[in-house]
Structure 1
C-alpha cells in the first residue's frame, strides 16, 4: 500500500510527487508515458508576470521547477525593469527537451518514489474517504491519500476546424473514465478550453524581416541554489513580428471555419491568452498584434509562434502564417489546435486543496481550472505538502494573500471559483509590493526548511543573508554625510544638488535617483549585490511597505476568526439571500475567506460577526 498516489506526470504531478517522497512518504507517480513527464505541450518558457515570482516561491518552499528552469534555459530576461519592484519578474525561454529530461531524471531517481507507466481508470473511495485507484490493467492499488494532477487529459478532445478528435496533447491518449469516476463520487466537473500555436521549421524563417529580442545581460536565476547560468553571449535570441491587414483578412474570412466560432467548442477558453481569431473579434480596432518567434530546443529545428494560437483548419493556418513578415516561406512542423477537457469546480476544494466531499483526495493544476505550468507546479507542491502534513497529524500549510502569490491563487480558486482557465496576474494581489521577486526566499524559506524540503546548508546561507541585510541597514544609519562631504560630487552628477545639512546614508538613500551603487565609493560596503538590492528596496519603499503590512495585519485578524464547518447559514437572520447561498456552497473556513466571496457584502459580514459572538456567549 502506498502512502500517497499522484495521478499525472505534468508540472503539478512532478512537484507533488517529489515533495511527498522528499518528506519520506512512499509515493507512486502514474504517467501514461514516462518519456513525456514534465513536457511543455504549449509555450516552452517558464516565468513571466506574476508567474516568475511563483517560480521563486516554489523554489523557496523546496520545489524543483526553479532549478530545472535555470539549468535548461536558452535565454534569461527580467521583465518590467522600468517599473517598480512589485511587478518586476523573471522569464526564461526553456529548452523543452532538456527540461523534460532534467525532471524525468529527478523523479526516476528520487528515493521513496516509484514511477508507473500506466493509466488510472478510476478513483476508489468508501464512506467518503479515498481508498485507492483502479489501474487500466485491472489491478487495485490502495493508498492513504491521492493527488490528481491530470492536466488537460480528462476526456480531452483536439479541435481543428470542424473536426473533433478524442486525444490528449502531443498526440497522447486521453481518459474518459477518470472524470466519470469523480462524478460518480459526487464531484462536479465542467468543460474548459485552451490551445497552442503552430511550430515551424526554424531554418525556413527569414529573421531579417523581424525584430531581435535579446535576453538580459545580468546574472539572473529562479533558484537560490543556482550558482551559474548560460553566459549572456551564448543565450538564444527570440524575435518579434506582427500580424497585418492581410493576416486579418484571412482570419475574418474564415471565422466560420474556426472550431471556436463553428459551434464545435463547448468549453470556456482563457480570457488572458486568447486565440488569434478571438483577438481579432475582441480587439477589432487593433491594426496589428505582436507575434513572438521563440526557439523550442537546441536539439530541435523548430520555432514556437507565440501569440498565434488558433483552431483553424490546416490550409487556413498555412495562409495565416505565410502572411506574417519573415514567414512567407515557412514550413509547418506541427499545426496549431484547441483542446477541450474536463476540470472540477475548485469551490469543491479546501484551502489545502483537499476535496470537501472525499477525504484525503487532493487536486492540483489544470484540473482545478488554472492555466500555466507555474500555477500547476505551485498547486502540486502545496497539495503534496498538505497531504503529508495531514498524514502526520500536523497543521496544514495555508499561505496567506500577503505571504505569497501561491496563497493569492489558491484563495481565489477555493473562494471565488472560476468559469474560465484561471491565470495568475500581478493585479490579483492586493499586497504585491510585499510579494516581490527579490524576497521570495525571505517569505517562505522557513516553511521549506521546516518540512525538510530545504537543506540545513541552504537555510544557513539564507539566515546569513538575512543577518547581512539587517547589518547593512544599521551601518547606513551610522554613516553621516555633511555639506562638505565628497558625496556632493555624486549628487551633482545625478542633478540632485549639494547637501545643505548633515544626513545619514540611510536617509539619503530614500531620495529619488540616489542609489547604493552610486554611493558605494563613499561607503565601506562588504555585502554582495543581492543583499544591497534588498536593502535599497526596503529603504526606498519603506512607507509603502509598512502601509501594506498594516493592511495585511487587519486581514490576518479576520483570518484568525474560524467559522464552524457545520454552520447552517440559512438559519441566520438578516443575511442576504445570495450570501446564504454562497456561504452554504463554499463553507469558508475563516471570516476573512467569507469576506472575499463574491456576493457576500460587508453588511453580511457584520451580521455574521454578531451571530458568531452570540454563539460564543451561548
Structure 2
C-alpha cells in the first residue's frame, strides 16, 4: 500500500523546508523532503541576500536553535555588513549578500549528507487524512508515502501564476511549474484559502553597467558573520552599489500604468502585495511627491555576471521594463538577462494554526513559510525550524511542544502575530512588532534560545557549554568594571575627545560606561583588565554583551519587569475541554475564542475583538474550571 514509510514528511525545499527537514532528521526522525526540483533546494527566488533589521536577528535565533541558515550564509556570503551600527543595540542587525549558486549548493550538500533525511523529487498533490489525523501523502505520479506528521512549506507554488504585463502563465517561480492540486486539499478540509502577490526585478548583465555613476557600498571589515559558531577569517568581499530612479523613470511608469496588471483596465493581479517591499509602479503611485527612490545594484555571485537591481521589482510589460532600467543612472546601456515579473499564489489563513504551527483541523499537519502569508527567506526559515521541532516531537509521541514566547524571540513574535491576527497582506518582520525588542537583540540570541537547541538535540554539548561560558564571562567582566576606578586626569582626555562633560572626582568604570558616547574599548586602553586566555571571539562577544548590559541597564530592567507582568497571564493555560459558553462575555467573543482555540490566556488577550475586561472574567472561570476538576479527582 505504501511506497515508503517516514516519521515526518516535508513538502517543499525552500528555506522553511530546509530548516524543517534538518531539525526533524537531527532529532532522530526518519524524514522525507519532497521537492519539485532537487536542483532548486534553498533557491533564492528574489534578492540573493540574508538578514537585515529584525530579519538578521531571526537568522541568529535560528542559529541558536541549531539551524543551518546562518552557517550557510557565512560559508557562501560575498559581502557582510552590520546595519545601524551607530544606533542602539535593539535595531542593529547583520546583513549579507550571498553567492546565490554557492548558497543553494551548500545547503543541498548539507541536506544530502544528514542522517535520517531523504530527498524525493516528486510533486505532492494530496494529503491522506484518517479520523482527523495525517496518514501520508500522494504524489503526482500516484506514489503513496506514509508519515506520522506532514509539514507543508509550499512557498509561492500553490496555484502560482506569473504575470508580465497582460501575459500570464502558471508557475511557482519563473520557468518552474506550480503545484495546482494541494490548495484543493485545504479547501476540501474547510481551510480559508486566499491569494497574495509578490514580485522580483530584472537581472542585469554586469558587463553593461557603468558603476562609475553609482555610489560604491563596501562590506564591513572584519566581516560580521552570522553564526555563533563561525570562526573569524578573512574573505574577499564584493562591493554593492547605490543609484536612484529619476523623474524620467517616474514618467515612464505613469505613462504606462494603463498596461499594468495591477492598475490597468485588465486587472490580472488581485492579491495583496508586500507593503514594505513594493513594486516600482506601486512606489510611484503611492508616493507621487518623491523625486527619486533608491536602487541597490547587487551582485548575484562570484562566478556570474548577473546583478540584481534591488528596488525595481515590477510586473509591467517587458518593453517598459527596458525603458525603466535605461532611465536609471549607470544602467543606460544595461542588458536584461531575465525579465521582472509578478507572481500570485494561494496561502492558507494562519489563524487555522496553533502556535506550534500544527493545524487545528488536522492533527499532525503543520504549515510553515509563505503558505502562512509571510514574505522573506528569514521569516520562512524561522517558521520552518519551529515546525520541524514540533513535528518531530509529535511523531515521537511526546506531549512536549516548542512555542517561543514574544519575550523570547522575534520568531515567537511572528508566529504569535500570525496565529492570532492572521494576515491581509504578506507579513514581514520589523523591530517595531516586538514589545521587548531591547531584550530580543541580535547579539544575545544564544542566551535566549540555545537552551532549547541543546534540549532538543540540535546543539552539541560543546556548543551549549560555550554559550554558558560566554555569559559567565559577561558577569565576571561587569563585576570587575564595578571595582575599577578611573581618576579624572586619566578619563577626562577621553571625555573631552567625545564631547562629554569632564569629571572632577574619580569614578567607577561601570558608571562612566553608562554615558552613551563612552565606549568600552576606550576604557580598556586606560586600565589593567585581565580578560584571560580564552577564545578571542568569545572574549570579544562577552565584552560586547557586558557593555550593552551596563549602558542599557535601566531600560533592560524595565522591560524585564514588563515581561514578568506579561508572563502572569501568558502562563495561564486554557484547558482543552474549557466551555466558553459558561463565561458571561459577548456571543461574538465566545465565537472568536471557540474558533481560535487559544492555548493560553495571554494568547486569548491578543485576539482581535477580545476586550481586556473579558480576559479578567475568563481568568476567573478558568480557575473555577480547574478547581472543579481537582475536586472531582479528589
The TM-score bracket by the shorter chain reads over 0.9
Superposition pairs for residues 244-323 of structure 1, below 5 Å?
A: 244-262=246-264, 263-323=267-327
Deviation string, structure 1 residues 434-482 (Cα, Å, up to 9, x no partner) = 0001111111111111111111222222121111111111111121234
Superposition pairs for residues 114-513 of structure 1, below 5 Å?
A: 114-231=118-235, 234-262=236-264, 263-392=267-396, 393-483=398-488, 486-513=490-517
SS of structure 2 residue aligned to 1:378: helix
Distance 1:41 1:229, change over 3 A: farther
> 595, 602, 622: which is aligned to 1:585?
595
CA contact (8 A) 1:565 1:588 kept: no
SS of structure 2 residue aligned to 1:341: strand
Point out the more displaced range, 533-542 or 238-247.
238-247
Q: Hey, what's the Cα distance between the residues in 2 that align with 1:73 and 1:220?
A: 11
Q: Hey, what's the Cα distance between the residues in 1 that align with 2:575 and 2:279?
A: 44
| TM score, norm. by length of structure 1 | 0.97
Point out the more displaced range, 375-384 or 589-598.
589-598
SS of structure 2 residue aligned to 1:478: coil
Deviation string, structure 1 residues 372-402 (Cα, Å, up to 9, x no partner) = 0000011110000111122331421111111
CA contact (8 A) 2:162 2:174 kept: no
Q: Hey, what's the Cα distance between the residues in 1 that align with 2:123 and 2:82?
A: 39
Deviation at 1:603, TM superposition (A): 2.2
SS of structure 2 residue aligned to 1:227: coil
What residue in structure 2 maps to residue 69 of structure 1? 73
SS of structure 2 residue aligned to 1:531: helix
Distance 1:554 1:96, change over 3 A: same
Q: Hey, what's the Cα distance between the residues in 2 that align with 1:312 and 1:497?
A: 57
User: Could you list the runs of 5+ residues in structure 1 that have no partner in the other structure?
Assistant: none
SS of structure 2 residue aligned to 1:186: coil
SS of structure 2 residue aligned to 1:458: helix
Deviation at 1:611, TM superposition (A): 3.0
Q: Give yes or no for the alignment of 1:535 onto 2:546.
A: yes
Deviation at 1:230, TM superposition (A): 4.5
What residue in structure 1 maps to residue 564 of structure 2? 553
Distance 1:512 1:166, change over 3 A: closer
SS of structure 2 residue aligned to 1:460: helix
What residue in structure 2 maps to residue 598 of structure 1? 608
Deviation at 1:492, TM superposition (A): 3.7
Cα RMSD (Å): 1.5
> 16, 22, 39: which is aligned to 1:12?
16
Point out the more displaced range, 382-391 or 407-416.
382-391
What residue in structure 1 maps to residue 536 of structure 2? none
Distance 1:534 1:175, change over 3 A: same
Deviation at 1:570, TM superposition (A): 4.8
Superposition pairs for residues 39-58 of structure 1, below 5 Å?
A: 39-58=43-62
Q: Hey, what's the Cα distance between the residues in 1 that align with 2:91 and 2:67?
A: 22
CA contact (8 A) 1:123 1:182 kept: no
Deviation string, structure 1 residues 311-362 (Cα, Å, up to 9, x no partner) = 0011111111111111111111000001111110000000000000000000
How many residues align structurally? 614
Q: Hey, what's the Cα distance between the residues in 2 that align with 1:254 and 1:492?
A: 58
CA contact (8 A) 1:57 1:440 kept: yes
Point out the more displaced range, 291-300 or 46-55.
291-300
| TM score, norm. by length of structure 2 | 0.94
CA contact (8 A) 2:81 2:223 kept: no
User: Could you list the runs of 5+ residues in structure 2 that have no partner in the other structure?
Assistant: 532-538, 629-634
Deviation string, structure 1 residues 144-168 (Cα, Å, up to 9, x no partner) = 1101111111110001111220112
Q: Hey, what's the Cα distance between the residues in 1 that align with 2:347 and 2:581?
A: 29
SS of structure 1 residue aligned to 2:363: coil
CA contact (8 A) 1:221 1:229 kept: no
Deviation string, structure 1 residues 110-133 (Cα, Å, up to 9, x no partner) = 111110111111111011100000
Point out the more displaced range, 159-168 or 149-158.
159-168
Q: Hey, what's the Cα distance between the residues in 1 that align with 2:136 and 2:359?
A: 15
CA contact (8 A) 2:14 2:155 kept: yes
Distance 1:287 1:378, change over 3 A: same
